Amino acid sequence: MSKSMLDIINLRKSYGADLVLEDISVSLAEHEVKVLIGASGSGKSTLLRTINLLERIDDGQILLDNKDITAVGVNPDVVRAQIGSVFQSFNLFPHLNVLQNITLAPRKVHGVSKEVAETNATELLERFGLADKARQYPDLLSGGQQQRVAILRALITKPKVLLLDEVTSALDPILIAEVLSLIAELKAEGMTMMIATHEMGFAKRVADQVLFLHHGRILEAGTPSDILEKPHSPELSDFLGALREAGRL
Protein backbone atom coordinates (compact mmCIF):
# COMPACT_ATOMS: atom_id res chain seq x y z
CA MET A 1 0.00 0.00 0.00
CA SER A 2 1.31 3.45 -0.87
CA LYS A 3 1.64 6.18 1.72
CA SER A 4 -1.29 7.78 3.45
CA MET A 5 -2.25 11.20 2.09
CA LEU A 6 -5.21 12.08 4.27
CA ASP A 7 -6.19 10.71 7.68
CA ILE A 8 -9.37 11.71 9.40
CA ILE A 9 -9.37 10.51 12.99
CA ASN A 10 -12.42 10.46 15.27
CA LEU A 11 -13.81 13.62 13.73
CA ARG A 12 -16.76 15.25 15.40
CA LYS A 13 -18.68 18.33 14.30
CA SER A 14 -21.95 19.90 15.37
CA TYR A 15 -23.89 23.04 14.56
CA GLY A 16 -25.12 24.00 18.01
CA ALA A 17 -27.15 21.06 19.28
CA ASP A 18 -27.20 19.50 15.82
CA LEU A 19 -24.59 16.75 15.54
CA VAL A 20 -23.62 16.55 11.87
CA LEU A 21 -20.49 14.38 11.96
CA GLU A 22 -20.00 11.77 14.64
CA ASP A 23 -16.78 9.87 15.19
CA ILE A 24 -15.67 9.79 11.56
CA SER A 25 -12.43 7.98 10.79
CA VAL A 26 -11.27 7.62 7.20
CA SER A 27 -7.88 7.30 5.55
CA LEU A 28 -7.09 8.12 1.98
CA ALA A 29 -3.92 6.66 0.47
CA GLU A 30 -1.99 8.38 -2.30
CA HIS A 31 -3.71 7.80 -5.68
CA GLU A 32 -6.78 6.45 -3.93
CA VAL A 33 -10.33 7.55 -4.76
CA LYS A 34 -12.99 7.36 -2.09
CA VAL A 35 -16.61 8.17 -2.84
CA LEU A 36 -19.08 9.39 -0.22
CA ILE A 37 -22.71 8.51 -0.75
CA GLY A 38 -25.76 9.18 1.38
CA ALA A 39 -28.93 11.22 1.48
CA SER A 40 -28.83 15.03 1.46
CA GLY A 41 -28.02 16.16 4.97
CA SER A 42 -26.08 13.01 5.81
CA GLY A 43 -22.90 15.07 6.30
CA LYS A 44 -21.04 14.47 3.02
CA SER A 45 -20.52 18.16 2.19
CA THR A 46 -19.70 19.07 5.77
CA LEU A 47 -17.04 16.35 5.87
CA LEU A 48 -15.40 17.70 2.73
CA ARG A 49 -15.57 21.25 4.05
CA THR A 50 -13.86 20.29 7.31
CA ILE A 51 -10.94 18.87 5.30
CA ASN A 52 -10.12 22.16 3.58
CA LEU A 53 -10.77 23.94 6.88
CA LEU A 54 -13.81 25.84 5.64
CA GLU A 55 -15.61 24.32 8.64
CA ARG A 56 -14.13 24.21 12.12
CA ILE A 57 -14.20 20.78 13.76
CA ASP A 58 -15.22 20.15 17.36
CA ASP A 59 -13.08 17.14 18.10
CA GLY A 60 -10.69 14.73 16.42
CA GLN A 61 -7.84 15.32 13.98
CA ILE A 62 -7.18 15.63 10.29
CA LEU A 63 -3.73 14.77 8.94
CA LEU A 64 -2.71 15.88 5.47
CA ASP A 65 0.39 14.07 4.28
CA ASN A 66 0.98 13.04 7.91
CA LYS A 67 0.86 16.62 9.22
CA ASP A 68 -1.90 17.63 11.62
CA ILE A 69 -3.76 20.45 9.86
CA THR A 70 -6.22 20.87 12.72
CA ALA A 71 -3.49 21.65 15.25
CA VAL A 72 -3.44 25.05 16.94
CA GLY A 73 -1.37 27.59 15.03
CA VAL A 74 -1.67 25.98 11.61
CA ASN A 75 -2.20 28.61 8.90
CA PRO A 76 -5.36 27.56 7.05
CA ASP A 77 -4.29 29.41 3.89
CA VAL A 78 -1.20 27.21 3.64
CA VAL A 79 -3.29 24.08 4.10
CA ARG A 80 -5.89 25.11 1.52
CA ALA A 81 -3.16 25.87 -0.98
CA GLN A 82 -2.37 22.13 -0.94
CA ILE A 83 -5.97 20.96 -1.34
CA GLY A 84 -8.13 21.34 -4.42
CA SER A 85 -11.84 22.00 -3.87
CA VAL A 86 -14.67 21.96 -6.38
CA PHE A 87 -18.24 22.84 -5.46
CA GLN A 88 -21.70 21.99 -6.70
CA SER A 89 -22.30 25.57 -7.88
CA PHE A 90 -18.95 25.93 -9.75
CA ASN A 91 -18.20 29.31 -8.11
CA LEU A 92 -16.07 30.54 -10.96
CA PHE A 93 -15.23 34.22 -10.64
CA PRO A 94 -17.57 35.98 -13.10
CA HIS A 95 -15.37 39.04 -13.57
CA LEU A 96 -12.39 36.95 -14.71
CA ASN A 97 -12.09 34.97 -17.92
CA VAL A 98 -11.30 31.26 -17.93
CA LEU A 99 -7.54 31.76 -18.10
CA GLN A 100 -7.59 34.36 -15.32
CA ASN A 101 -9.78 32.11 -13.16
CA ILE A 102 -7.31 29.27 -13.50
CA THR A 103 -4.13 31.34 -13.04
CA LEU A 104 -5.29 33.38 -10.02
CA ALA A 105 -4.19 30.88 -7.36
CA PRO A 106 -0.85 29.93 -8.97
CA ARG A 107 0.05 33.61 -9.29
CA LYS A 108 -1.20 34.96 -5.99
CA VAL A 109 -0.80 31.94 -3.70
CA HIS A 110 2.08 29.99 -5.19
CA GLY A 111 4.11 32.90 -6.55
CA VAL A 112 4.26 31.60 -10.11
CA SER A 113 4.94 34.27 -12.74
CA LYS A 114 2.09 35.30 -15.04
CA GLU A 115 3.78 33.84 -18.12
CA VAL A 116 4.50 30.45 -16.55
CA ALA A 117 1.02 30.27 -15.01
CA GLU A 118 -0.61 31.04 -18.35
CA THR A 119 1.52 28.49 -20.18
CA ASN A 120 0.58 25.81 -17.64
CA ALA A 121 -3.08 26.78 -17.75
CA THR A 122 -3.17 26.76 -21.55
CA GLU A 123 -1.57 23.33 -21.57
CA LEU A 124 -4.18 22.03 -19.15
CA LEU A 125 -7.04 23.59 -21.13
CA GLU A 126 -5.71 22.03 -24.32
CA ARG A 127 -5.43 18.62 -22.72
CA PHE A 128 -9.08 18.70 -21.68
CA GLY A 129 -10.45 20.22 -24.87
CA LEU A 130 -11.19 23.68 -23.49
CA ALA A 131 -8.41 25.65 -25.21
CA ASP A 132 -10.86 27.72 -27.28
CA LYS A 133 -12.57 28.93 -24.09
CA ALA A 134 -9.46 30.47 -22.51
CA ARG A 135 -10.51 34.08 -23.15
CA GLN A 136 -14.21 33.60 -22.49
CA TYR A 137 -16.07 34.66 -19.39
CA PRO A 138 -17.83 32.00 -17.28
CA ASP A 139 -21.33 33.37 -18.09
CA LEU A 140 -20.92 32.34 -21.71
CA LEU A 141 -19.97 28.72 -20.96
CA SER A 142 -22.33 25.80 -20.51
CA GLY A 143 -22.67 24.39 -16.99
CA GLY A 144 -20.53 21.41 -17.94
CA GLN A 145 -17.78 23.63 -19.32
CA GLN A 146 -17.93 25.84 -16.23
CA GLN A 147 -17.57 22.87 -13.94
CA ARG A 148 -14.67 21.46 -15.96
CA VAL A 149 -12.95 24.84 -15.75
CA ALA A 150 -13.58 24.85 -11.99
CA ILE A 151 -11.93 21.41 -11.74
CA LEU A 152 -8.93 22.61 -13.73
CA ARG A 153 -8.72 25.68 -11.51
CA ALA A 154 -8.44 23.38 -8.50
CA LEU A 155 -6.01 21.10 -10.31
CA ILE A 156 -3.49 23.63 -11.66
CA THR A 157 -1.66 23.95 -8.35
CA LYS A 158 -1.08 20.18 -8.19
CA PRO A 159 -2.97 19.63 -4.93
CA LYS A 160 -2.23 16.65 -2.72
CA VAL A 161 -5.94 15.85 -2.53
CA LEU A 162 -8.86 16.89 -4.70
CA LEU A 163 -12.23 17.30 -2.97
CA LEU A 164 -15.28 17.16 -5.23
CA ASP A 165 -18.58 18.11 -3.63
CA GLU A 166 -21.56 16.96 -5.73
CA VAL A 167 -19.98 18.54 -8.76
CA THR A 168 -22.64 17.27 -11.16
CA SER A 169 -25.77 18.01 -9.13
CA ALA A 170 -26.47 21.28 -10.96
CA LEU A 171 -26.06 19.79 -14.45
CA ASP A 172 -28.28 18.02 -16.96
CA PRO A 173 -27.40 14.44 -18.06
CA ILE A 174 -25.35 15.26 -21.17
CA LEU A 175 -23.23 17.76 -19.27
CA ILE A 176 -22.86 15.35 -16.34
CA ALA A 177 -21.21 12.87 -18.69
CA GLU A 178 -18.50 15.31 -19.83
CA VAL A 179 -17.65 16.28 -16.25
CA LEU A 180 -17.55 12.66 -15.10
CA SER A 181 -15.28 11.58 -17.92
CA LEU A 182 -12.85 14.35 -16.93
CA ILE A 183 -12.84 13.02 -13.36
CA ALA A 184 -12.32 9.46 -14.63
CA GLU A 185 -9.31 10.73 -16.55
CA LEU A 186 -7.89 12.28 -13.38
CA LYS A 187 -8.34 8.94 -11.64
CA ALA A 188 -6.39 7.25 -14.43
CA GLU A 189 -3.59 9.77 -13.88
CA GLY A 190 -3.42 8.85 -10.20
CA MET A 191 -5.10 11.87 -8.60
CA THR A 192 -5.99 11.36 -4.94
CA MET A 193 -9.67 12.23 -4.57
CA MET A 194 -12.53 12.36 -2.10
CA ILE A 195 -15.82 12.65 -3.95
CA ALA A 196 -19.35 13.25 -2.69
CA THR A 197 -21.89 12.28 -5.33
CA HIS A 198 -25.40 11.08 -6.13
CA GLU A 199 -24.22 9.37 -9.34
CA MET A 200 -24.03 5.70 -8.38
CA GLY A 201 -22.91 4.52 -11.81
CA PHE A 202 -20.04 6.95 -11.59
CA ALA A 203 -19.21 5.88 -8.04
CA LYS A 204 -18.93 2.32 -9.33
CA ARG A 205 -16.62 3.42 -12.12
CA VAL A 206 -14.06 5.47 -10.20
CA ALA A 207 -14.26 4.49 -6.54
CA ASP A 208 -11.67 2.31 -4.87
CA GLN A 209 -13.92 2.40 -1.88
CA VAL A 210 -17.45 3.69 -1.27
CA LEU A 211 -18.49 5.09 2.11
CA PHE A 212 -22.13 5.29 3.09
CA LEU A 213 -22.91 8.21 5.40
CA HIS A 214 -26.09 8.29 7.42
CA HIS A 215 -26.90 10.98 9.99
CA GLY A 216 -23.25 11.95 10.26
CA ARG A 217 -21.83 8.46 10.70
CA ILE A 218 -20.10 6.10 8.31
CA LEU A 219 -22.47 3.14 8.42
CA GLU A 220 -20.84 1.04 5.73
CA ALA A 221 -17.61 1.04 3.75
CA GLY A 222 -16.51 -1.29 1.01
CA THR A 223 -15.89 -1.86 -2.67
CA PRO A 224 -18.47 -0.27 -4.99
CA SER A 225 -20.07 -3.60 -5.85
CA ASP A 226 -20.24 -4.66 -2.18
CA ILE A 227 -21.90 -1.43 -1.13
CA LEU A 228 -24.26 -1.06 -4.07
CA GLU A 229 -25.25 -4.71 -4.41
CA LYS A 230 -24.91 -6.26 -0.96
CA PRO A 231 -26.04 -3.69 1.61
CA HIS A 232 -25.90 -4.91 5.22
CA SER A 233 -27.71 -2.16 7.08
CA PRO A 234 -31.40 -1.42 6.60
CA GLU A 235 -30.46 2.27 6.17
CA LEU A 236 -28.32 1.55 3.11
CA SER A 237 -30.98 -0.80 1.72
CA ASP A 238 -33.56 1.96 2.09
CA PHE A 239 -31.25 4.51 0.45
CA LEU A 240 -30.51 2.24 -2.51
CA GLY A 241 -34.19 1.34 -2.78
CA ALA A 242 -35.13 5.01 -2.97
CA LEU A 243 -32.50 5.60 -5.67
CA ARG A 244 -33.77 2.62 -7.65
CA GLU A 245 -37.33 3.93 -7.45
CA ALA A 246 -36.16 7.31 -8.73
CA GLY A 247 -34.47 5.55 -11.62
CA ARG A 248 -31.00 6.62 -10.51
CA LEU A 249 -29.44 3.26 -9.89
Partner 1 sequence: MSYQPSALRIEREAARHRASRHSTVVALISTLTIAIILTIVVAGAPGFKLVRESFFSWHYAVSSFPHVLSGLWLNLRVMIIAEFFVLIFGLLIALARTSHSPILYPVRLIATIYTDIFRGLPLLLVLLLIGFGVPGLQISWITNSAVILGTVSLIMTYSAYVAEVIRAGIEAVNPAQRMAGRALGLTQAQTQRHVVLPQALRKVTPPLLNDLVSLQKDSGLISVLGAIDAIRSAQIDTAQSFNFTPYVVAGVLFVALTIPLTRFTDWLTRKQDRARVQQGQW
Which helix (H) or strand (E) covers residue 61, if one does?
A: strand 59-64
Q: Min. distance of Cβ 165 from partner 1 in angstroms?
A: 10
Q: Which of 41/94 has CB closer to partner 1?
A: 94
Q: Min. distance of Cβ 55 from partner 1 in angstroms?
A: 11
Cβ-Cβ contacts under 8 Å for 2 (sequence gap 6 or more)? 29, 30, 31, 32
Alpha carbons 6 and 14: distance in angstroms, whole number: 22
Q: Which of 149/210 has CB closer to partner 1?
A: 149
Q: Min. distance of Cβ 233 from partner 1 in angstroms?
A: 33
Q: What is the CA radius of gyration of the chain?
A: 18
Helical H runs in 130-218? 143-155, 173-188, 200-206
Cβ-Cβ contacts under 8 Å for 8 (sequence gap 6 or more)? 24, 25, 26, 27, 47, 51, 60, 61, 62
Pairing verdict, β 209-214 and 217-222: antiparallel
Q: Which of 160/217 has CB closer to partner 1?
A: 160
Q: Which of 56/230 has CB closer to partner 1?
A: 56
Q: Which of 81/184 has CB closer to partner 1?
A: 81
15 touches 190 (CB < 8 A): no
Q: Min. distance of Cβ 131 from partner 1 in angstroms?
A: 22
Kindly list the residues in this chain that would bind partner 1 in the complex (CB under 8 A): 52, 54, 76-78, 80-83, 85, 87, 89, 91-95, 104-105, 108-110, 139, 153-154, 157
Q: Min. distance of Cβ 97 from partner 1 in angstroms?
A: 13
Q: Min. distance of Cβ 6 from partner 1 in angstroms?
A: 16
Q: Which of 101/209 has CB closer to partner 1?
A: 101
Alpha carbons 90 and 26: distance in angstroms, whole number: 26
Q: Min. distance of Cβ 168 from partner 1 in angstroms?
A: 17
Other beta carbons within 10 Å of 92: 21
Q: Is 14 helix (H, G, I), strand (E, B) or coil?
A: strand
Q: Which of 80/214 has CB closer to partner 1?
A: 80
